Structure 1
């Protein structure tokens, strides 16, 4: 599910942080999922079938990794807390077993590895903002999947990326070293 920059819920003027947003969210019944970024509520659009196929390919491949065997997960639409004013919901986010267990104690988690699938409604600035937020939250790796051009942009920092396509092999190292595949297989 991909974010848009237009809030669909009316934002009360007094919401300044994630705690206030989540409290407000519990009090207002709504459908869908949302991110909160510095006072803005950002709606996540429903996943399209082509995006679901990408998600399925990636999650099934992840299930063959040593990280999965340890109990780690590559989870769709899981909250990833950046700081007190930003909460993102990557299309897929990697969380270790210990992070997952800590969520049961109410401890907020930040992903080390986020995967986003570009939507038609996202601007270049939206992409840059998300990548920056993930790294601000402690991510070591961000993949941006571009279905239209059949490419994956791999960010190792907010300012460093490399495009992979066709017969290029992509790897989630150093976070999940054995999570790798030929890019063209994702779009086959």
Structure 2
């Protein structure tokens, strides 16, 4: 849902202060876009995948994994917040700690988990923007249909079903998991 406001150039401080109202936003072409709150399924998939990636990435000293509260400042000034993201150690050279503000650039891996409110056009626009800003891999997870689309460019390269394996490829070498794990029913 787009909030109707006058287009303007937002400072990092102004944009960061918006989170105090309890909403999540992205900044797209000078306009605030309210990302809304996700449901438990969406949040659970993001937390599960983000947790697996974070442990693997830290153990192998590959970079850092971030959640949906992390905004990336893209070359065009837009601020995007993938549901899960990975930034390689190469892009973090010279840093000893994560920046307090927004990361200047895009993640190496961006993960978008579809919500019922997402449109095909909106997701495609994000994917194009990620690749225009040097993202190398995008995973789009569709919880309702239980599949993952893998992108190396703005067009999907792979359609993964629950019986397939999701891999980090050259971006997160050695990482792999069953797609089915993303959609498993609880067993407790």
The higher-RCO structure (CA 8 Å, 6+ apart) is 1
Q: How has the CA–CA distance of structure 1 residues 92 and 38 changed in structure 2, closer, same or farther, with 3 Å as cutoff?
A: same
**What residue is the counterpart of 2:45 in the other structure?**
54
> Is 2:149–2:156's contact at 8 Å kept on the other side of the alignment?
no
Aligned pair partner of 1:94 in 86, 95, 106: 86
2:12 maps to which residue?
22
Per-residue deviation, 1:85? 2.9
Shift, 1:104, TM fit: 4.9
1:169-184 matched pairs, under 5 angstroms: 169-184=165-180
Query: Structure 1: 5+ residue runs without aligned partners?
Result: 1-5
Cα offset for 1:12?
A: 2.4
Judging by fraction of residues, say which structure has more strand: 1
Q: Please, which of 28, 31, 36 is the counterpart of residue 37 of structure 1?
A: 28
In the alignment, does 2:62 pair up with 1:68?
A: no
TM-score (norm. length: structure 2): 0.82
**What RMSD, in angstroms, separates the aligned Cα atoms of the two structures?**
2.4
Matches within 5 A, 1:115-154: 115-154=111-150
Structure 1 position 103, deviation (Å): 2.1
CA distance, structure 1, for counterparts of residue 33 and residue 101 of structure 2: 27
Runs of 4 or more off by more than 3 Å in structure 1? Answer: 21-29, 99-102, 104-107
Which residue does 2:6 correspond to in 1?
A: 12
- Does the aligned pair in 2 maintain the 1:81–1:109 contact within 8 Å? yes
Between the two proteins, the alignment pairs up a number of residues equal to 177
Mean Cα deviation higher: 70-79 or 150-159: 70-79
Aligned to 1:45, what secondary structure does the other structure show?
coil
